[in-house]
Amino acid sequence: MSANKLSASRVRQILVAAQKTRVLVVGDVMLDQFIWGGVSRISPEAPVPVVDFSRESFMPGGAANVARNLVSLATPAELFGTIGNDDAARKLLKLLGKQSIGCGGLVKSSARHTSIKTRIVAHQQQVVRVDRETRGALDAKTNAGLIAEFKKKIAKADAVIVGDYGKGVVTQPLLNEIKSLCHARGVWLSLDPKPVHHLNLSSLSLITPNRKEAFELADFLDETKNANPLADKNLMLVAERLLKELNPALLLITLGELGMLLCQRGQKPFHIPTVAQEVFDVSGAGDTVIASFTLAIAAGASPIEAAILSNHAAGIVVGKVGTAVTTPEELVASFSK
């Protein structure tokens, strides 16, 4: 199959099948706040732009954005993580409810703040980001509560996505429990890694590092970058090492403007060039990739079909400002061009 050959009718078929699946999303949930405005002058107090406030908006972020991507593509999703007992949590729960995302797996902890990422955007350009969050690992009681909620729903799940954003929810004990439950039931398990955590990521169904993360996971120095990923010797060595050491069923390395590299043991790596026409904002693009790839697999797509579909989905969202999502109509249309 050519890297761009997936018919619109086949994409429609995959998306219809995905509506009958159920995906669980576990990880660091957060609230994305956007402050929109314009810049017409530099501050007299410091060499920084003065943003004239226009409006603000809120969106689910982190693992919650993965769930948001799933439901935007009409795939039922349930979210598992922790939130604080604060105003940000209430805003987040209200947003998730409006988008029909299952929130029964969100465990409240008065010892933690709900993570908020505030992005100030002027003229479609992000000026600065402010993070308010708790990064420590979950305490034993909260972790046990989270696992208990997850166990209630795993029996009816077709796939699980773990979103690790380094905020303390995804710990080795939690990941071990999730792996054990998924393996026992034959449930697909995808994970977006955060190498700084040094977790044991062995024996997952799918891991989706970007190029930088892949090199960090392989403990390999990224000295050169080839415009042709298949001719990039260092990238090929990293992919080979990760397949051997972590033993995932699939390894999908996202390469930004160079697209994606799908790797499987015993097969040649498959390169999918990007289809993005314009790039306004890459915020949340990784969430779109892992969500759309996983729902495609759950719906019966082949790994190559899932990779091509997720590449198109990412190409759509980077053309929008903010942590965006795509719809079935937009995705099918992108294959009709």
Q: Among this protein's residues, is 287 annotated catalytic?
A: yes
Residues β-bridged to residue 125: 122
Buried b (16+ CB within 10 A) or exposed e, 211-223: bebbbbbbeeeee
Residue 321, classed as helix, strand or coil, is coil
Written as one string, the DSSP assignment of 31-84 is EEEEEEEEEEEE-SSSSSEEEEEEEEEEEEEEHHHHHHHHHHTT--EEEEEEE-
Q: Give, to the nearest 10 degrees, the angle between helix 303-317 and helix 8-18.
A: 90
- DSSP letter for 261, please: E
Q: How far apart are CA 276 and CA 285, in angstroms?
A: 11
- In the set 192, 232, 281, 287, the catalytic residue is 287
Triad 78, 83, 86: Cα angle to 5°: 135
Written as one string, the DSSP assignment of 166-194 is SSSS--HHHHHHHHHHHHHHT-EEEEE--
| Residues tagged active-site | 287
